[in-house]
Amino acid sequence: MQLEATGQPIRYRLKTGEEVTLRPGVPMELPDHAATQLLQKAPDKVRRVDDPTTLTTGLIPLHLGTRITWQGADLTHRHGIVEFLHRDTDGTEWAFCLLPDGRGTALNVKQIQNVEGS
């Protein structure tokens, strides 16, 4: 399981005797048992980090490289390929996409109308 510090870096000693330092914005893989224990002991100092290559929009998993369709502000249908996924601290999920003309765009995953291959 991946964890990161929420504020200040935090040191933690694993049962193996290894000491690790968790830092904000730097996910670290820990054994599931150790991560669960640390989340219970210090829920205000650490948080679980989900897989950055997958988000689930409703019941549809969204992966890097997925082709998606959404409706633009001008009411035209747009297509793009997911290059990067991000979840804000408030839970808002974003897909950063590459458009057919090579430009990039970011959109809230709630705007996605179709995910090809799912």
Residue 29: pLDDT band (50, 70, 90) is: confident
Average pLDDT over residues 20-37: 87
Note the pLDDT tens digit of each residue in 34-60.
988 898 998 889 888 776 556 655 546
Closest CA to 8 of 46, 50, 49: 46
Note the pLDDT tens digit of each residue in 48-99.
877 655 665 554 667 888 899 999 889 999 999 999 888 787 878 888 999 9
Closest CA to 108 of 78, 75, 77, 85: 85
Measured CA distances, 2 to 9, 59, 84, 101, 102 (Å): 15, 23, 18, 36, 33
pTM, full prediction? 0.53
Per-residue pLDDT for 118 more than 80?
A: no
Gap between the Cα atoms of 27 and 14, Å rounded: 16
